[in-house]
Structure 1
């Protein structure tokens, strides 16, 4: 999958770190990007102001660009990146197609150095764009005259190939869409249908017409089955002459290279948006449930508190009744006691120490003479 940005983020970060280092830094780093691009960055302490950047990439279309070497057109575009800073080394590192010599001393020390290093990091986009431009320019004219418009398979990423068919005066680009998850297929299908509807509006007449189909278009008849087995359908763009005229050519080519990346980026952000909305909705529902539970708990506490007070009153009342009953039994027992003999001073003793309640008795005491 191609990167939507022209500058390589990883390569840009390494070059900035190398340029901003206060002390000489030795770097011997291998970098792989997008599954097909390979970089090697070398900077030695004996020559700290020079860095060597080696690049290797498979051909965009093995059927046409059979040579592993870069074309002269691509080399000229690379030389125009940063004249004076970027030079093509005479000796290419083994296993790589191109080695660039970066003179760090010629990079300006002001804020412009960020822009220069970012432009150097766009070398992969220059190579890819130049290869696609060459394929469109060097199309077999004999086949076009005979009416044999054979599709060209472009495999920047082996898992995401797309096809280009040239039918004068137009060029058809067909993208087979594949996804691993079913939810991605649903989101992408809705996106393609909306893309077709929006593209048919009057204010977008200058944009290439877009179409989507669940089955392969007629232009891809005869292609390999593994290239046509998709679950997301086929998206086609009709590119006219004014879309590849002048400065529009570079923009059109880069958009074609990044269409698969843009679709996957859209699906990813849509899934993130849906998940955030679902999470927010869930938080609101949980908040409502917690509010309802708190109200129910308050009601239960109020009821429990009322029951506790009643129970306490009942407990106090039952204890009072038990004590009253016991005192009543004791009083009845004392009433049954008959003092046949009266002892002098016993009454004061009883009032002082025993403190027994006085009980009225119908029987009197017998006084001994």
Structure 2
């Protein structure tokens, strides 16, 4: 989660990738020889088990600093042809500042080479930041390719009936895509390892599907429906791909207006990270409830400590005044 994106929002840019590359850019601008001489090998694992690696590249042509940005995900999430075609337009730059490697680094799906020296030579700070933001969106460009392809088809043709498609997100989680006339329907079987999380998710998702109906400002948002049993769109889906949907099924209906060039990337990212969005809110809710319960217990303990102690024998405590007289305090 990125705080700059707002509470509960997931930023499409990877702070890890952006900061790792930016550190090399700043070291190059400052001519920090010691930092540049130190090999870079930073790795990170994000939600949905997506892995990043930012590694330094041996200087092949003398005087240039380069790093490789690699990304990997669980098997089945990467569709090489579509992914690399999208990356060529969304990530790579024609001047070679960011370029896709022909072969990904070992253990990863795709690798992009970043010319740090070229970025550092730019005097325009906004342009440098623009390039850093571009390479940090590598996840959305690579793993959103399948959904992006269906939405582009919807925008171009208005939508046609097609076969059910799917994209594995992580172990036990799959996103199904059903092209239809005038729309594309995306279905999530919601699986939770913790049965208690599944109970909370059921209530959350029921309200999530209902809230759009009562708010006019959400009238242009995708239609959402929640089902306890598999919707009809999944009748041809392999049973092993659906798995144990103990949290029910959520369907999003996307129309042509959601696939316009200015909204396409936001639509792809928000849909693709929906399961992580729900998981975040469940954990956030549990933390809030635990905090409230702790506050309530502390309040009760404070009241008990202030309570007047009563002698169970019924006899008051014998007190003596300064002049020697005694009395019983009850």
TM-score range, shorter chain: 0.7 to 0.9
CA distance in 1 between counterparts of 2:25 and 2:168 reads 35
* Contact in 2 for aligned 1:152/1:163 (Cα 8 Å): yes
Structure-2 residue corresponding to 1:201: 214
* Contact in 2 for aligned 1:208/1:238 (Cα 8 Å): yes
Structure-2 residue corresponding to 1:42: 56
Structure-2 residue corresponding to 1:224: 238
Q: CA deviation at 1:136?
A: 4.3
* Contact in 1 for aligned 2:17/2:69 (Cα 8 Å): no
Q: Which runs of 5+ in 1 are unaligned?
A: 314-369
Structure-1 residue corresponding to 2:171: 158
Q: CA deviation at 1:42?
A: 1.4
CA distance in 2 between counterparts of 1:92 and 1:220 reads 34
1:1-369 aligned at under 5 Å gives the runs 4-21=10-27, 22=32, 23=34, 24-29=36-41, 31-34=43-46, 35-44=49-58, 49-57=64-72, 65=79, 67=80, 70-80=83-93, 85-88=97-100, 93=105, 97-107=110-120, 108=122, 112=126, 113-114=128-129, 116-137=131-152, 149-203=162-216, 204-226=218-240, 227-292=242-307, 295-296=308-309, 303-306=316-319
Q: Which has more strand, going by share of residues? A: 2
* Contact in 1 for aligned 2:50/2:73 (Cα 8 Å): yes
Q: CA deviation at 1:247?
A: 1.1
Larger Rg: 1
RMSD: 3.7
Please report the TM-score for the alignment, with normalisation by the length of structure 2. Answer: 0.75
Number of corresponding residues: 298
Q: CA deviation at 1:202?
A: 4.9
* Contact in 2 for aligned 1:162/1:175 (Cα 8 Å): yes
Q: Which runs of 5+ in 2 are unaligned?
A: 2-8
* Contact in 2 for aligned 1:177/1:232 (Cα 8 Å): yes
Counterpart secondary structure, 2:169 = coil
1:132-159 deviation digits (Å, cap 9, x = unpaired): 31244469xxxx97x6x43211113233
Please report the TM-score for the alignment, with normalisation by the length of structure 1. Answer: 0.68
